[in-house]
Amino acid sequence: MKGKVLALLRSQQGEPVSGEDLSHRLGVSRTAVWKHIQTLRDEGYEIISQPGTGYILKGVPDLLLPAELKHALAGNRLVTNIEYYESIPSTNDQAKTLADQGAPEGTLVVAESQTQGKGRLGRQWFSPQDAGIYASLILRPGLRPEQAPGFTILAAVALAQAVWQVTGLRAGIKWPNDLLLEGKKFSGILTEMKGEMDRIHYLVIGTGINVNTDPILFPQEFQTSATSIKAVLGNTISRIDLLVAYLNAFEKLYAIYLEHSLSPIIKAWKEWNVTLGQWVSVDLGTTVFSGRAVDIDKSGALVVQGE
């Protein structure tokens, strides 16, 4: 009902609607309407009440609330469920728990902060309150496990496209999962999988983006290597706009991957990448080796030419 009150206020496009009108249209009492308006206000919605005319929706909170995301994702057919948390240890871990319990493809877990945000190779992902995007998407593609790394490539391209669309900033993709602005990392992707030898059960695509994060807040070890969109752009941006642009780009690229192959996505990746041609050090967790990055193959693996 609260969502319906919000939808009606939104549909008024800044024009007032009376409590009586709302209660008739929704089939509930005026007291119930008033209570939902209060709850929305508590969540950060700016709703003014003009004596004699009614309620006007003046502003929405800068939070990744499901009602806001659902509204903005109206044309997106990939994201079907949204699980929202103010704070959670890790959206990836929560998405895996939900997937193990049978959550369908398209379930998105999103949080305003994480207390144990994870990166690749056991690293930490700094996840302060309300400043970044911490989101994990459950996918159940009918693909084989060796096709899973393609999703990190796909997500990186979707994110670069979304950042370009929303901010006009050109991010660089550093293989396999880093996105850079001015040579510093502002976003990372953590793809996790459960499956058998020949079948993926599910994938969790975790995305962390330093959006409005103040770089001064980064822990000491990230001070020189990390940045945020705000630090580069000089102003804050809407996290909802960026997340929605990312999920819409993701949906399109995912359809291409399923209907065709990873090849068109690799082609797009090459336009954004900052890795090929570089001398790289490859950390496989157990061994580290170096060489020149010459290509990525059709599965998304980096081809490195040693000495």
Kindly state whether residue 206 participates in binding ligand BTN, applying the rule CB under 6 A: yes
Phi and psi at residue 8, in whole multiples of 5°? -70, -45
Which among 45-53, 68-76, 134-142, 270-278 is the span making contact with ligand BTN, rule CB under 6 A? 134-142
**Sites for ligand BTN among residues 31-60 (CB under 6 A):** none
Place of tokens 């006007």: 56
Place of tokens 């999962």: 177
Kindly state whether residue 208 participates in binding ligand BTN, applying the rule CB under 6 A: yes
In 3D space, the residue among 72, 127, 73, 138 whose CA is nearest the CA of residue 105 turns out to be 138
In 3D space, the residue among 187, 171, 105 whose CA is nearest the CA of residue 138 turns out to be 105
Which among 200-208, 213-221, 275-283, 288-296 is the span making contact with ligand BTN, rule CB under 6 A? 200-208
Of 45, 125, 175, 272, the one binding ligand BTN by CB under 6 A? 125
* Nearer residue to ligand BTN within complex by CB, 128 or 264: 128
Q: Maximum Cα–Cα distance for the chain, whole Å? A: 79
Minimum distance from CB of 284 to ligand BTN (Å)? 14
**Sites for ligand BTN among residues 234-273 (CB under 6 A):** none
Which among 33-41, 78-86, 138-146, 201-209 is the span making contact with ligand BTN, rule CB under 6 A? 201-209
Of 90, 167, 213, 248, the one binding ligand BTN by CB under 6 A? 90
CA dihedral 252, 256, 257, 262 (to 10 degrees): -110
* Nearer residue to ligand BTN within complex by CB, 10 or 120: 120
* Nearer residue to ligand BTN within complex by CB, 91 or 147: 91
**What distance in Å separates the CA atoms of residue 30 and residue 27, rounded to the nearest whole number?**
9
Q: Is 28 exposed, middle or buried (0-12, 13-18, 19+ CB in 10 A)?
A: middle
Minimum distance from CB of 208 to ligand BTN (Å)? 3
In 3D space, the residue among 279, 296, 280 whose CA is nearest the CA of residue 153 turns out to be 296
Number of residues that bind ligand BTN (CB under 6 A): 21
Helix, strand or coil for residue 184?
strand
Cα–Cα distances (Å) from 286 to 145, 212, 282, 283, 303, in that order, read 21, 35, 10, 7, 18
Minimum distance from CB of 258 to ligand BTN (Å)? 23
* Nearer residue to ligand BTN within complex by CB, 34 or 85: 85
**What distance in Å separates the CA atoms of residue 97 and residue 106, rounded to the nearest whole number?**
15
Tokens encoding 195: 């499956």
The length of the chain is: 307
Which among 51-59, 184-192, 214-222, 274-282 is the span making contact with ligand BTN, rule CB under 6 A? 184-192
Which among 43-51, 65-73, 117-125, 214-222 is the span making contact with ligand BTN, rule CB under 6 A? 117-125
**What distance in Å separates the CA atoms of residue 67 and residue 274, rounded to the nearest whole number?**
37
Minimum distance from CB of 35 to ligand BTN (Å)? 34
- Shortest-Cβ-distance residue relative to ligand BTN: 188
- Sequence-distant (6+) residues with CB within 8 A of 213 are 126, 128, 131, 132, 228, 230, 231
Kindly state whether residue 92 participates in binding ligand BTN, applying the rule CB under 6 A: yes
Of 69, 148, 171, 190, the one binding ligand BTN by CB under 6 A? 190
Kindly state whether residue 123 participates in binding ligand BTN, applying the rule CB under 6 A: yes
Interface ranges with ligand BTN (CB under 6 A): 90-92, 114, 117-120, 123, 125, 134-136, 177-178, 188-190, 206-208
